[in-house]
């Protein structure tokens, strides 16, 4: 796998799991298509894109190029794990992540952080934490629903012994 293909694959995982600033990303479907193309096909497609869309995709790729190799490997594993989900769970995960991406800038990292933290724990502990008063006070009803939906469709996070 070439470095460019890895970056494109990682872009998909990043759009699902990581905390990329709103507006930097490209659509998941587009990244999947680009990842399956030869470099010549990819260049031809990029050349046909509107300047804003092309810039957004190139910004995403540039952002990924700056990620440490270990983090890129984790993104690769996350992507592969996501690809193993049934299509309906992939669609549900994308829908939930889009809702989270549409949150205000100050709320988005908090919601993503809660999801990432809770995914490391078993469901019973997730439920207890989500039912706690501090959690209830920190997140709105809509945010708690997004977090719960994300936990229902995303696979559990890797723990250090799973790597």
pLDDT tens track for 120-149? 999 999 999 999 999 999 999 999 999 999
pLDDT tens digits, one per residue of 56-71: 887 877 777 788 888 8
pLDDT of residue 132: 97
* pTM above threshold 0.75: no
pLDDT tens digits, one per residue of 69-120: 888 787 778 778 888 888 988 888 889 989 999 999 999 999 999 998 999 9
In angstroms, the CA 85 to CA 77 distance is 13
H/E element, 31:
helix 28-36
What residue spans define the domains of the chain? Answer: 1-84, 86-163
Q: Is the pLDDT of residue 13 over 80?
A: no
List the structure tokens of 143: 């945010």
Q: Are 146 and 100 in contact (CB under 8 A)?
A: yes
How much of the chain, in percent, has pLDDT values that exceed 70?
A: 75
Mapping DSSP onto H, E and C, the string for 4-30 reads HHHHHHHHHHHHHHCCCCCCCCCCHHH
Q: Is the pLDDT of residue 24 over 80?
A: no
* Angle (nearest 5°) at CA 51 between 40 and 13: 65
């Amino acid at each position: 796998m070439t470095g460019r293909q890895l970056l494109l694959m990682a872009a998909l995982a990043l759009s699902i799991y990581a905390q990329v600033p709103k507006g930097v990303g490209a659509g998941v479907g587009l990244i999947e298509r680009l990842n399956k193309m030869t470099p010549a096909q990819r260049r031809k497609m990029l050349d046909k894109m509107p300047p804003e869309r092309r810039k957004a995709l190139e910004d995403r790729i540039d952002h990924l190029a700056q990620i440490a190799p270990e983090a890129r490997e984790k993104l690769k594993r996350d992507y592969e794990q996501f690809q193993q989900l049934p299509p309906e769970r992939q669609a549900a995960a994308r829908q939930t992540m889009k809702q989270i991406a549409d949150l205000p800038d100050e709320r988005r990292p908090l919601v993503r952080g809660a999801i990432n933290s809770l995914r490391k724990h078993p469901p019973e502990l997730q439920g207890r934490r989500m039912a706690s008063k501090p959690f209830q006070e920190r997140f709105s009803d809509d945010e708690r629903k997004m977090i719960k939906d994300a936990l229902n469709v995303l696979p559990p996070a890797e723990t250090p012994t799973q790597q």
